[in-house]
Structure 1
């Protein structure tokens, strides 16, 4: 028997979305969450890759505030912000602006291109083939995302830390993340926030407007640098956010959102067992 489709209200509840938020309250609640979990877990560092988008900018600043709060409580804590470009990032200026705003304790830069390309070369040498260049580029994009997470967990392991994720409700709804790539983390401080709510918290934190309002892009495909999320998703973040807070959306948008949510269910679950 097939499982019935989740209702809009069911999805909103599952993803912990609130229709409205108090920005100052959400900021402090999420800083407290990071600080408390770091203390309770016995870890003393937070690690996050900074891309120059609003999600990592907001999560990064929350992480820095959390370690500063921990230090006020007598805990030796540090935040390691990581730059993880694949070669040269076309919007590197945005990434540096994010770093300047976040003011992390330390910045580590790791170029994931050599490891990503070596993995792809080894796969092709082992017999893996692709439908066309775009299919190959898509698979390589997921390899990049997973190499970035490999690097972050290496730093977390070396420094006794937790990896911070940037997943928010809009991406969770659409399964718009790489499984075991940017979808892998120890703590996810943006959980439950719509894309617009992330921007609202960003404004509360004082993030630069150029980063808060920046067009979102996963920027994983070499053949399409800066490829917009909304083009890849086939629906706007405005519609996704509206759906998440219980508002009406067009039938076309609803169909895309509900179909995508059902199709990407495996990304939001622990490994399936017998």
Structure 2
């Protein structure tokens, strides 16, 4: 089995590469930044928005994990080129190559202005898009493109509304939004075989989380990690989080604050 991983040189790609390695599996790594492939890996340099380059990168591929694009807020033209045009070009190349399974790495910023539900329940898996940035808008378009290529062409697509993926949560907000690299790898594996179209929250089963895991569990995700072992140290350093503060009350956290202006 050959999996194309775009954006392989980035933080998430670096975390996932060793965790997705399997006997009989080849990871075809793609990015604009050159890197040295390891055992069981191949390397291609490709601009996501270049149809010829993506068609070449897609040759002989069985599934796609799409991590590539602008990972932070940028001017609109940059976001459109990398994240919107790039995703469309990638999906078109996958369709023409006959790829059946695609996992798109979306973001919680696609729903950033959603707040904690008043009823104490989790924010639903398919919460209506409420993007907090141009970057968030691009992830909404990613979800829409995935839906289109599923409905029109029968491609199996899973979009992960990724939370915070690091070796551990970096602050008290992360106690709710964190997903471990091992859990993210498990969620990606589930998406690589899941039939249909799905939007799932990318978060570990943290006691403080407020994003639903029902859809992720439905496609086979089993979270084995929790942010709670980090809680005492983070709270000692930063204090108990104020859940009425937009940083903790809104899915997009600090990226929803007006004073950030165009910088985000």
- Into which bin does the TM-score normalised by the smaller protein fall? 0.3 to 0.5
TM-score, normalised via structure 1 length? 0.37
Higher strand content, 1 or 2? 2
The higher-RCO structure (CA 8 Å, 6+ apart) is: 1
Structure (1/2) with the larger helix percentage: 1
TM-score normalised to structure 2 length? 0.38
